[in-house]
Amino acid sequence: MDSSATDLLPPLDAPGTAEQVAPWPAPAPLWEEHDVDVAAQLERRQRGVLVLAVAVAAVALLVVVIGFVVHLASGGSTVATTSTPTGKASVGGPTPSKSGSQSPSPSAAADPIRGTAEPGLPASADDIAATAHITTPPSTTGHVDASGRTATYPPEAMNDTDPSTAWRMDGDGTGAKITLSFPRVVTVTGLALDPGFDKVGKHQDRWPENRRISSATFTADDGSAFTIGFVTDPHLPASQRLQTFMLPTPVTTRTISIQIDATVPAARGIFDTTAISRLAVLGS
C-alpha cells in the first residue's frame, strides 16, 4: 500500500474516532405507527356511527310528525263510527231524502221499521198503486173457476177494487218479490194489502182455501224499509181483510219492492197457492 494514502487515515485508536463516525439513525418502531393508525380508524368509525344515529333519529322524528299531521287532518279520532242513511224513515228521525234517484247498498240500509197493519183504508186516503207498472213472479195458470171457465190471475188484479179478483202464484210465496215502478217520483204515506184470495161466492170463501201472507217487507229507493204483519185468521170477516199500515214519516220514491216474508197455509189444504187480492199505495 502507498504510504501516502495511509497517512491520510486517522489511526484506529485515535481519540474521538468513535464519536466522529456516527451510525445511520434507527427507524421508528413499527408498532408505534400501527397504534397511531388504529386510533385514527377507531375515531373515524365512531364519528360515522354518530352521524348514522343522528340521521336515523331525524327520519324517525319526521315520520312521527307526518303521522300526527295526517291524524289531525282525518278528524283526530280513531274510533269507528256508523251512520244511518238520511233517507231512512224512522219514528222521530230525519226527514227522508227527496231525490229518490239512487238506492244505497243493502249493507248501508238500517233495519226495517216493524209494525202491524190495521183493518180498512183511511177515509181520505188516495191510492196511487194503479199508476205503477207491476212486476211479479209467474202467475198461476191452468186453473178453472167454479163455472168451468179458465181462471187468470194477472198482476193488474191487485190494482182494482174488486176483491173477487187477485194475483196468485203457485206454491209458498215466501221470498217472492213484487215491484211497483211509478212514472214519476211519488210521496208515500201508507201501504195496504189484502193478503189473500178474498173471493166470496154463494157456496165458498176462497180466503181460507189459499195461503195468506202474514208478513211482508216494503222497501223504497232510499233504503227505507217497513216490515208489516197482517192478520191471517181463516175466519176473518171480509170487511177486515184489506189492512193498512201508515208510515211514521212520508217517503219519496219511484219504486217500491215488496218481499213476501212468510205465509200461512190453507186451512183445509185445498190450494197450495199464494194470493193478493189488493195492493194499495197511499200518497200523492
Please write the tens of the pLDDT for every residue from 123-132: 888 999 999 9
Asked if 153 and 230 sit in the same domain, the reply is yes
- Asked if residue 196 is part of any domain, the answer here is yes
Asked if 59 and 179 sit in the same domain, the reply is no
Asked if 248 and 138 sit in the same domain, the reply is yes
Asked if 44 and 145 sit in the same domain, the reply is no
Number of independent structural domains in the chain: 2
- Asked if residue 191 is part of any domain, the answer here is yes
Task: Report the alpha-carbon distance of residue 153 to residue 206 in Å, rounded.
Answer: 14
Q: What is the pLDDT of residue 138?
A: 95
Asked if 171 and 44 sit in the same domain, the reply is no
Asked if 58 and 185 sit in the same domain, the reply is no
CATH of the domain at 194: 2.60.120.260
Asked if 116 and 248 sit in the same domain, the reply is yes
* Residue 203 identity: H
Asked if 139 and 220 sit in the same domain, the reply is yes
Q: Which domain holds residue 42?
A: 33-76
pLDDT in tens, 226-254: 999 999 999 999 999 999 999 999 999 99
Q: What is the pLDDT of residue 95?
A: 38
Cα torsion angle, 51, 55, 56, 61, sign: positive
Asked if 173 and 264 sit in the same domain, the reply is yes
Asked if 48 and 110 sit in the same domain, the reply is no
Element (H or E) spanning 134, and its range? strand 133-135
- Asked if residue 155 is part of any domain, the answer here is yes
Question: Which cell numbers in the block locate residue 266?
Answer: 190453507
- Asked if residue 18 is part of any domain, the answer here is no
Task: Report the alpha-carbon distance of residue 140 to residue 90 in Å, rounded.
Answer: 37
Q: What angle do CA 149, 267, 228 make, to 5 degrees?
A: 95
3-state secondary structure of 156: helix
- Asked if residue 236 is part of any domain, the answer here is yes
Q: What is the pLDDT of residue 79?
A: 34
Which parts of the chain sit beneath pLDDT 50? 1, 3-6, 12, 16-22, 30-36, 75-108
- Asked if residue 149 is part of any domain, the answer here is yes
Task: Report the alpha-carbon distance of residue 284 to residue 281 in Å, rounded.
Answer: 9
Q: What is the pLDDT of residue 254?
A: 98
Asked if 57 and 149 sit in the same domain, the reply is no
- Asked if residue 276 is part of any domain, the answer here is yes
- Asked if residue 16 is part of any domain, the answer here is no
3-state secondary structure of 281: strand
Dihedral-angle region of residue 72 (phi above 0 means left; psi in -120 to 50 means alpha; beta otherwise): alpha
Asked if 147 and 62 sit in the same domain, the reply is no
